[in-house]
Each structure stands twice: as structure tokens, then as C-alpha cells.
């Protein structure tokens, strides 16, 4: 861990510029909770040619990225690089940079899920689930997709949010996720699509239930 913290300090001190920082802040915020990839995936699901890839992205984000954020990270419980100031002089420097230079705690919560841990990088996992899916299923769009994945992942190191090994683990897990869901989608395509339809129907049923009281109230008012 010591070499990683030393490396992060070097990155923060020697590569940050106001222009790049502004762009990377926008990118890293857009990747929070994988909102950007969900939007793209839902658009893809709307077209038959890209539906399978869109479903792979959505299922990967919900099942694997969700598992990482809410279950795996708390179990591993690896602190952020800037939350171990007692570890070394570089760690203390990162702590001071994060809370006194980059952002106070209230602003930091815009960039990190409050209380979330370091291992593994959720931004990296989500971005490479998206990037690898495009690579395997729509290769002509793979270059911009993978460039986005790489830059998104690098922002987490650029700001000192993650150790390099957090990012590396996210890339490997994303690759395994896409390979698994691609195999499932190819071997059991009908089941895969039906599973999606059942998932969507849950929200439709909930919407109907939520609308029922309003409809009943309207009928009562008309009767009066």
C-alpha cells in the first residue's frame, strides 16, 4: 500500500492542472452510481440491433456493480487513500490535500458515496462493463467507449480517490462480468430477454398500484 500512496501523491502534485481538473470533475461526477452508462444502455435496449449489449450492460451494472458497492466494499473495508493519515507522510499529505484543498467534507460527498470504501473502484468497474461490452458486441464504437472507460478510471487516481490496485481489480472484474453475461446472453437469449421483461413488469405493477388511490379519489369526487 505504501508505494500506491506515494504514487498517488506524485500524480496529484505533478499532473493536475486547472483545465484537466475541471474536465475530470465533470466526468467523475457523471460516473457516480453509473448514471451515464444506464442512460446509454436504456437507449440501446430500445433498438433491436443493440438490445443484447444494452441488457448485458444493465444486468452487469445492477448485479455486479451493485454487489460491489453495497456488499463487497463494506466486507473488504479498505479505507480510502486519504483516510489513513497515520500511515505515512505521503498519506498525511493526501489527507490534507483532500479535506483542505480539494473539497470540504460536504463537497466531497458529491464525488463519493458517503462512507463508501476503496476496494474495488466502482467507477472503474462500471465504466469497463460498458467499455468491454461495446468492444465485444459493437466493435466500431469500441475505441470511444474504451477511451471513456480509461479516462473515467484514471480520474479516480488523478484525484486520489482510489489506489491503483482498486482500479486494476475493477478492470479485471468488469472483463469477467462481460464475458459471463455475454455467454448467458448468447446461450440463453430468450431467457435473458424474458428476465428483463419480468424486471420491467415489476415497475409497471408498482406504477398501477400507486395510481389506484388517485383513481378512486377521482371517482368519489365525481360521485359527489
pLDDT tens figures, 106-147: 566 667 666 778 888 988 999 999 999 999 999 889 899 999
Q: Which residue has the higher pLDDT, 216 or 126?
A: 126
Q: Which residue has the higher pLDDT, 209 or 125?
A: 125
Residue 218 pLDDT greater than 80, yes or no: no
Give residue 215's pLDDT. Answer: 43
Give residue 107's pLDDT. Answer: 65
Q: What are all long-range contacts of 50-57, with beta carbons under 8 Å and residues at least 24 apart?
A: 50/137, 50/138, 51/193, 52/137, 52/185, 52/189, 52/192, 53/133, 53/134, 53/137, 53/138, 55/185, 55/192, 55/193, 55/196, 56/133, 56/137, 56/178, 56/181, 56/182, 56/185, 57/129, 57/130, 57/133
**Where is average pLDDT lowest: 83-87, 104-108, 156-160?**
104-108
pLDDT band at 221 (very low <50, low <70, confident <90, very high): low
Residue 154 pLDDT greater than 70, yes or no: yes
pLDDT tens figures, 179-207: 999 988 888 777 667 766 776 666 565 55
Give residue 104's pLDDT. Answer: 62
Give residue 214's pLDDT. Answer: 47
List the domain boundaries for the chain.
2-205
Give residue 199's pLDDT. Answer: 66
Residue 178 pLDDT greater than 90, yes or no: yes
Mean pLDDT score across all residues of the chain:
81
In this structure, the chain runs to a length of 224
Residue 96 pLDDT greater than 90, yes or no: no
Q: Which residue has the higher pLDDT, 169 or 160?
A: 169
User: What is the percentage of the chain residues whose pLDDT exceeds 70?
Assistant: 79
Amino acid at each position: 500500500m505504501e508505494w500506491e500512496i506515494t504514487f498517488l501523491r506524485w500524480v496529484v502534485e505533478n499532473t493536475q492542472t486547472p483545465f484537466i481538473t475541471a474536465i475530470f470533475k465533470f466526468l467523475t461526477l457523471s460516473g457516480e452510481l453509473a448514471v451515464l452508462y444506464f442512460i446509454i444502455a436504456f437507449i440501446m435496449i430500445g433498438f433491436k440491433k443493440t438490445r443484447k449489449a444494452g441488457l448485458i450492460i444493465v444486468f452487469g451494472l445492477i448485479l455486479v456493480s451493485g454487489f460491489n458497492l453495497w456488499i463487497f466494499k463494506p466486507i473488504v473495508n479498505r479505507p480510502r487513500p486519504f483516510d489513513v493519515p497515520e500511515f505515512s507522510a505521503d498519506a498525511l499529505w493526501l489527507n490534507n490535500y483532500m479535506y483542505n484543498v480539494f473539497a470540504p467534507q460536504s463537497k466531497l460527498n458529491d464525488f463519493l458515496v458517503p462512507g463508501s470504501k476503496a476496494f474495488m473502484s466502482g467507477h472503474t468497474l462500471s465504466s469497463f462493463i460498458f467499455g468491454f461490452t461495446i468492444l465485444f458486441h459493437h466493435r466500431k464504437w469500441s475505441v470511444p467507449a474504451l477511451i471513456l472507460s480509461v479516462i473515467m478510471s484514471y480520474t479516480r487516481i488523478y484525484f486520489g480517490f482510489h489506489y491503483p490496485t482498486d482500479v486494476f481489480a475493477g478492470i479485471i472484474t468488469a472483463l469477467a462480468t462481460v464475458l459471463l453475461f455475454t455467454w448467458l446472453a448468447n446461450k440463453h437469449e430468450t431467457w435473458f430477454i424474458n428476465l428483463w421483461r419480468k424486471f420491467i413488469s415489476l415497475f409497471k405493477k408498482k406504477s398501477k398500484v400507486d395510481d389506484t388511490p388517485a383513481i378512486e379519489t377521482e371517482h368519489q369526487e365525481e360521485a359527489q
